[in-house]
Every structure is written in C-alpha cells, then in structure tokens.
C-alpha cells in the first residue's frame, strides 16, 4: 500500500513569490492535515481537511491556505512568501471517521525562501 | 494551555541502556497521547500511543507511562539500539471531531554503540 506522497520534495523560491504544495493521502484515507516543521518552532499545525471541508485551522496568517479535492488529494498554498516561511511542510492522512490522532506522514516538501 | 512540554532536548544513551523522554501538559481535554519517531529526511512515524484511562502501554522495547493526576507521560526505550537514534516527539490530541495534534518540541536521541 502506497504511503502519503508529497510533491515537490524540494523547492526554492524568492520572497514575494507564491508556492503550491501537493499531497496524495493513503488510499482510503479521507482526512488530510498539514504541518509546518522548523528547527525553532517544531511541528506546528496548519490545517485539517475532511471530505473537502476545512474543519480545523492553526494560527497562521491568511497567506497560508489549502484545499481538498473530491479524491481526497490536498494542496496548500503560501502566497507572498517571506524568509520565515522556509520550512519542511508535512502532510499527514488518517482513516475515514477515525478521530484517533493516528497520522501517517509523508516525507515532506522542503521549501527554501531566498 | 494547549502546549505540550517535552524534555530533554537531546539525550545520549549507551547501547543496551534505557532512554527516557518526558512530556507534560496542562489541558485536561487532551484525550490521546501518541509518540512519533522521525529519522533525518523522513516524516514522523507513529511509534506508540496511549489514552488517559490507561497508566501504561508496552509494545516491544517501547513503553509509555502515563500519570493522569500529574498530567505527565513518558516514553521508555529499553535495550536502546543505535538504530533507535532519531528525533522523538510526544503529542496530544484535543478531544472532538479532529485529528489535530499538539506536538512537543522533540528530543534528539543518540544511542552510542
């Protein structure tokens, strides 16, 4: 069974640009969450989607947005990039109706903002 | 109040020794406490988890001890091996219709051969 797939794995952007990251959850998983990981702040929750609906959002500015498609795939977008947005962005999926906190993470998309 | 405090920040253990990582929380609404293991270049992977109605859970060499009254829980790695060298995160889930986890700051474990 394939795991959570995130693309791209690495990307470099400059300040002011925008970026879109993609996540394909494990087959059958309908809940997708996004986290930002940095050395200073650790793992910070961005948002959570279930059945195309955002059901939870972390304390990030409006420049961070996301969506989920009918096939459960998800994307997140960061507009007007800042240096501080450099981080590893992790997507995680979990089973349908299973609000257990058991998340299956992808390997992440490492974003560098210059 | 939604923080999870984790210590130590780093830990060096000899092969065969016991690694102990501690976490503490304040919010009594947390209802699920997982531990994740992360190797360099990889995403975190669920290691073991516990619910607050259980005081201890053991899976192989990994044990979670949970003290509900003290709002503390810890991970014990028995017979630590060099392959256990990784970063470990404790986490907590706020009850309700969500899988949102609040993570601790992580512990970098190095097991020396």
Beta strands in B4-44 (DSSP E): 4-7, 10-14, 19-25, 30-38
Q: Is B99 in CB contact (< 8 Å) with chain A?
A: yes
Calpha distance B14→A41 (Å, rounded): 29
Mean pLDDT by 10 residues, chain A (114 residues): 92 98 94 94 93 92 97 97 97 76 92 98
Q: Is A60 in CB contact (< 8 Å) with chain B?
A: no
pLDDT tens for each residue of B3-50: 999 999 999 999 999 999 999 999 988 989 999 999 999 999 999 999
pLDDT tens for each residue of B75-111: 999 999 999 999 999 999 987 778 889 999 999 999 9
Q: Do A56 and B41 touch (CB under 8 A)?
A: no
Q: Do B41 and A92 touch (CB under 8 A)?
A: no
Q: Which of A44, A101, A106 sits opposite B32 (nearest CB)?
A: A101
Q: Which of B45, B93, B100 sits opposite A105 (nearest CB)?
A: B45
Calpha distance A45→A53 (Å, rounded): 16
Using CB atoms and an 8 Å cut-off, which of residues 80-99 of chain A contact chain B?
90, 92, 94, 98-99
């Amino acid at each position: 069974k394939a795991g959570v797939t995130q693309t791209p794995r690495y990307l470099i952007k400059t300040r002011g640009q925008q970026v879109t990251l993609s996540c394909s959850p494990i087959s059958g998983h309908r809940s997708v969450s996004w986290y930002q990981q940095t050395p200073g702040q650790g793992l910070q929750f961005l948002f959570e989607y279930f059945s195309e609906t955002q059901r939870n959002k972390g304390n990030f500015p409006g420049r961070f947005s996301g969506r989920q498609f009918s096939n459960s795939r998800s994307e997140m977008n960061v507009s007007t990039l800042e240096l501080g947005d450099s981080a590893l962005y992790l997507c995680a999926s979990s089973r349908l109706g299973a609000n257990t906190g058991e998340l299956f993470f992808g390997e992440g998309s490492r974003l560098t903002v210059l | 109040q939604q923080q999870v405090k984790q210590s130590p920040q780093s830990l060096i253990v000899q092969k065969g020794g016991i690694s102990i990582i501690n976490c503490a929380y304040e919010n009594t609404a947390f209802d699920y406490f997982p531990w994740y293991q992360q190797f360099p270049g990889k995403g975190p992977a669920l290691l073991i988890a516990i619910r607050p109605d259980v005081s201890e859970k053991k899976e192989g060499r990994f044990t979670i001890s949970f003290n509900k009254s003290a709002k503390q829980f810890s991970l014990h790695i028995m017979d630590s091996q060099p392959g256990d060298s990784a970063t470990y995160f404790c986490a907590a889930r706020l009850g309700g219709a969500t899988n949102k986890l609040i993570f601790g700051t992580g512990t970098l474990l190095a097991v020396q051969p």
